[in-house]
A and B are shown apart, each in its own frame.
Chain A
C-alpha cells in the first residue's frame, strides 16, 4: 500500500511540476523555403528559445501557395497560430475588417513600438486609428545591372528616360535584352512594372494624391505612364525580348539569363539580393544596383517605392497573446538578432524597418547591400518615396492593376479604358472602406 501511495505522490509531483515549469508555447505559420528555413530556425527560433525560459516559439513551415488559404480557414474556424502572418497590408486589412486580428494598441504602448519602428512602416498596420499589425519586411523596387558589362562598353547607368532608351538601343544592338524579367509562376509580377511607371513617370506626388482620393486614376499623367509602359513592353520588348517571352520566363530563368549576359539589366525587388549574389559568385562578372530611372520631370531624381512584403499580427483567438506580443517585442528590440538573421538572407527577408546606425551593421555585410540600406534610408528620409501597389492598393484594385494589365498589353482595351476601370474599383473600395493607410508626404 505504501508503495502505491509513494508512486502516486511521485507521479503527481512530476505532473504538477512539469505543468508549472512548462514553457508557454507560441505558434507561427510561415511560408516554406528550403534554403531559408534552416537559417530561420537557427537565427530566430533557437536564438529566441535560448534567450529565455518562459516561452517557446514554434514555427510551422507551410507551402507558400496554400499558406494564405490555410490560415484564413483556420482563423474563420476559431483556430490558427498565435502569430498571424500576411503578405503585406492589403491582406492584413482584410483580416482586420473580419475581426481576425487583435488590437495591438496596449502592447504598442507597453513596449513603445511606435518609437522603434519607422513611421511609414508602422502606419501600414494602423487601421481606424489602432495598430493591428507590425511590418516584418520592408522592400523596394530597384534596378540591377551587369557592372562588368557596363564598364566594358562604357555605358552609363541610366537615371533618366533618355539615358534608359540610349542604353536599351545599345544593348539591343549587341543582340541582348534590355531587362531580364518574367512572370511565369507569379502572375502579379506585372504590378512591379506598373508600380515603377506610375511612380517614376507620373511621380510619387500624383500617386499619393490618387491614393488618398484627391486625383483620379484617369488623369492624363497616369494614362501617359501606362502608355509608356505599354510601349516599352509591347513595342520595344524591353523585358526578355518580347511580351510572350516575358510571360514564359520564371524566377530561376530570368536570374540565370541576367548573370549569363542575356540582358543588360533587371527590374526587380530587393528580395533578389540573395539569389543575384549567389549567381554572380560563380562567374567573373560583377553586378550593381541603382535606383530606377526617373522617367519624367514629375519624378524626383532618386526615389524608392515603399512596400511592406510581410506583416504580422496576433490571433484574437490565441490563449497566449501576451507571450506572443512579448516575443514580437524581443524581435523588434534586438537589432543585432534582426541584422544577423537578415544578413544571412542577404537582406531579402526579415528586413525589419527599425532605426539603424552604420555601427549596427557587422563588417561581413555585403557592401552593395549595405550601400542600398543606407541610401534607401537617406533618400526616403528626405521624403523621396513612392508607393508599391501590393502595399497600398486595396485587394480588388490591387488585383486589377496586374491582371488587367495583360489586356492592355494584348491590345484588347485602351490604356484610358483600363484606368477608367481602375478608378471604378477604387471608388468601390472607398465606399466599402477597404482602403489602406497611406504614408503622408
Chain B
C-alpha cells in the first residue's frame, strides 16, 4: 500500500485522468489512422491491406502536391504579415497611456468571434449582390465587383487575410505581455544615450521578447499545418483547388469520396510534418536557442 502513496507518484495520479483521455481521444485514433493508411478502407465495411499504395498514389496526386504548396504559402504568410503587424502594433501600444485598453480589446475582438461568424461577415462584404462592390459601383468605382474568394488568383490570399485578420489581435496581446516584462531601466538608459524609438525596438525590445517571439513562430508553424475552418467555410478549397490545403483535401477524400484509407495517408503525412517541425525546434533548443 505504501508504495502507492509514494510522494513521487502523486503527480502521476493527477496527470493520469488527462493521460487516459489523451489515450482514447488522441493516441488510439492516431494509431488507427496510421494503420488505416495502409488499407483501402472506405469508411465502413471490409478493408484490405494494400501496403504503401496510398502513399505512392499521394506523391503522384497533383492536387495533394498543390495543397502542400498552399500550406507552405500559408505558413510563410502567417509567419510574416501578422507577426510583423502585431509586433509593430504592440510596440506602439506600449507608448499609449490613455485608451490602450480600448485598442487591445478592439484588436482582440475578432479572435473571440466564432470562425463561422467572421467568415460570414467577409462573405457578405464581398457578395456581388449585397457587398461593398455594389456600394462602390454606385459611386462610379469599379472595385470589388467580384469576390476575391471566388477568383482563383486571389482565393488563397483572401482566405489567409481573413484568418490573419482574426488572428493577429491574439499576437498583439501576447507580444504586449512580453514587452511589459522588459525591464524599464533599459529604456531609461537608452533614453539617456539618445536612442531613437526604432533603435530601442531593435536593440532592446526585440532581443528581450525573443522567447515569446520564437514561441509564437513555433505555434504558427504548427497551427498552419492542420488549417481547415476558414478555408472550408469560405471556399471549400476552391475555386479549382486554388485554395485547397491539406486539411480540406483530407476531408474531401474521407467524407466526399469515401477514400478513408487514402485520407488517413494524408493525415499520416501531416503527422510526420508536425513531428519534423517540433523536432527542429528541439534541435534549436539543444543548440542553446531560447525556444
Interface 9-mer from A13-21, A94-102, A150-158, A211-219: A94-102
Interface string of A402-417 (1 = CB under 8 A from B): 0100110110100000
The reply to whether A247 and B44 contact each other, CB–CB distance below 8 Å, is no
| Given A100-B45, A244-B146, A244-B147; A396-B257 close (CB under 8 Å) | yes
Within 8 A of B (CB), among A97-117: 97-100
Checking B43, B44, B45, B236 against A187 with a beta-carbon cut-off of 8 angstroms, the contacting residue is B236
Checking B129, B238, B257, B258 against A247 with a beta-carbon cut-off of 8 angstroms, the contacting residue is B238
> A275 on the interface (CB 8 Å rule)?
no
Chain A nearest CB from B240 CB (Å) reads 4
Residues of A within 8 Å of B258, CB to CB, are 94, 395-396
Residues of B within 8 Å of A97, CB to CB, are 42, 45
Bound Cα distance from A68 to B44, whole angstroms: 13
Checking A94, A99, A100, A406 against B239 with a beta-carbon cut-off of 8 angstroms, the contacting residue is A406
Checking A100, A184, A245, A403 against B44 with a beta-carbon cut-off of 8 angstroms, the contacting residue is A100
The reply to whether A69 and B259 contact each other, CB–CB distance below 8 Å, is no
Bound Cα distance from A241 to B129, whole angstroms: 11
The reply to whether B128 and A245 contact each other, CB–CB distance below 8 Å, is yes
Residues of A within 8 Å of B128, CB to CB, are 240-241, 244-245, 248-249
Residues of B within 8 Å of A253, CB to CB, are 127, 129-130
Residues of B within 8 Å of A412, CB to CB, are 240
Q: How many residues of A contact B (CB 8 A)?
A: 34
> A72 on the interface (CB 8 Å rule)?
yes
The reply to whether A396 and B241 contact each other, CB–CB distance below 8 Å, is no
> A257 on the interface (CB 8 Å rule)?
yes
| Given A69-B255, A94-B258, A244-B146; A410-B239 close (CB under 8 Å) | yes
Within 8 A of A (CB), among B207-253: 236, 238-242, 252
The residue in B127, B151, B152, B239 that gathers the most chain A C-beta atoms within 10 A of its C-beta is B239
Q: How large is the interface on B (under 10, 10 to 19, 20 to 34, 35 or more residues)?
A: 20 to 34
Bound Cα distance from A241 to B147, whole angstroms: 13
The reply to whether A409 and B42 contact each other, CB–CB distance below 8 Å, is no
Interface string of A254-287 (1 = CB under 8 A from B): 0011000000000000000000000000000000
> A420 on the interface (CB 8 Å rule)?
no
Checking B42, B46, B150, B252 against A399 with a beta-carbon cut-off of 8 angstroms, the contacting residue is B252
> B193 on the interface (CB 8 Å rule)?
no
The reply to whether A406 and B238 contact each other, CB–CB distance below 8 Å, is yes
Residues of A within 8 Å of B259, CB to CB, are 396
The reply to whether A248 and B44 contact each other, CB–CB distance below 8 Å, is no
> A75 on the interface (CB 8 Å rule)?
yes
Residues of B within 8 Å of A396, CB to CB, are 257-259
The reply to whether B252 and A248 contact each other, CB–CB distance below 8 Å, is no
| Given A97-B45, A99-B45, A410-B240; A248-B257 close (CB under 8 Å) | no
> B149 on the interface (CB 8 Å rule)?
yes
Bound Cα distance from A409 to B129, whole angstroms: 22
Bound Cα distance from A366 to B257, whole angstroms: 38
The reply to whether B239 and A403 contact each other, CB–CB distance below 8 Å, is no
Residues of B within 8 Å of A240, CB to CB, are 128
Bound Cα distance from A97 to B45, whole angstroms: 7
The reply to whether B129 and A249 contact each other, CB–CB distance below 8 Å, is yes
> A76 on the interface (CB 8 Å rule)?
yes
> B126 on the interface (CB 8 Å rule)?
yes
Residues of A within 8 Å of B242, CB to CB, are 410
| Given A245-B128, A248-B146; A407-B241 close (CB under 8 Å) | yes
The reply to whether B256 and A94 contact each other, CB–CB distance below 8 Å, is no
Q: Which residue of B lies closest to A254 (CB)?
A: B129
The reply to whether A409 and B239 contact each other, CB–CB distance below 8 Å, is yes
> A344 on the interface (CB 8 Å rule)?
no
Bound Cα distance from A403 to B251, whole angstroms: 13
Within 8 A of A (CB), among B80-127: 123, 126-127
Residues of A within 8 Å of B42, CB to CB, are 94, 97-98
Within 8 A of A (CB), among B124-180: 126-130, 146-147, 149-152
Residues of B within 8 Å of A245, CB to CB, are 128, 146, 150
Residues of B within 8 Å of A98, CB to CB, are 42-46
Bound Cα distance from A241 to B123, whole angstroms: 18
The reply to whether A247 and B150 contact each other, CB–CB distance below 8 Å, is yes
Residues of A within 8 Å of B46, CB to CB, are 98
Checking B44, B130, B150, B238 against A72 with a beta-carbon cut-off of 8 angstroms, the contacting residue is B44
The reply to whether A242 and B44 contact each other, CB–CB distance below 8 Å, is no
Bound Cα distance from A428 to B286, whole angstroms: 50
Chain B nearest CB from A204 CB (Å) reads 26
Residues of A within 8 Å of B149, CB to CB, are 247-248
Checking A94, A257, A407 against B129 with a beta-carbon cut-off of 8 angstroms, the contacting residue is A257
Chain B nearest CB from A125 CB (Å) reads 18
Bound Cα distance from A75 to B255, whole angstroms: 15
The residue in A248, A256, A403 that gathers the most chain B C-beta atoms within 10 A of its C-beta is A248
The reply to whether A76 and B44 contact each other, CB–CB distance below 8 Å, is yes
Bound Cα distance from A406 to B259, whole angstroms: 21
The reply to whether B126 and A248 contact each other, CB–CB distance below 8 Å, is yes
Q: Which residue of B lies closest to A94 (CB)?
A: B258
Bound Cα distance from A248 to B242, whole angstroms: 15
Q: Which residue of B lies closest to A96 (CB)?
A: B45
The reply to whether A248 and B127 contact each other, CB–CB distance below 8 Å, is yes
Interface string of A218-253 (1 = CB under 8 A from B): 000000000000000000000011111101110001
Bound Cα distance from A253 to B150, whole angstroms: 16
Residues of B within 8 Å of A69, CB to CB, are 255
Chain A nearest CB from B159 CB (Å) reads 13
Chain A nearest CB from B93 CB (Å) reads 36
The reply to whether B238 and A187 contact each other, CB–CB distance below 8 Å, is yes
Chain B nearest CB from A260 CB (Å) reads 10
Bound Cα distance from A100 to B258, whole angstroms: 15
Interface string of B30-44 (1 = CB under 8 A from A): 000000000000111
Sample of 14 further A-B pairs with CB below 8 A, known A72-B44, A94-B42: A76-B43, A94-B258, A97-B42, A97-B45, A98-B44, A99-B45, A100-B44, A240-B128, A241-B128, A244-B128, A247-B147, A247-B239, A248-B146, A410-B240
A-B interface, 6 closest residue pairs, ranked by CB to CB distance from nearest: A98-B45, A410-B240, A247-B150, A98-B44, A244-B146, A406-B240
Chain A to chain B contacts (Cβ below 8 Å), 20 pairs: A69-B255, A76-B44, A94-B44, A97-B42, A98-B46, A187-B238, A241-B128, A243-B239, A245-B128, A247-B149, A247-B238, A248-B126, A248-B147, A249-B129, A253-B127, A257-B129, A406-B240, A407-B240, A407-B241, A410-B242
Report which A residues bind B (CB closer than 8 A).
Answer: 68-69, 72, 75-76, 94-95, 97-100, 184, 187, 240-245, 247-249, 253, 256-257, 395-396, 399, 403, 406-407, 409-410, 412
Report which B residues bind A (CB closer than 8 A).
Answer: 42-46, 123, 126-130, 146-147, 149-152, 236, 238-242, 252, 255-259
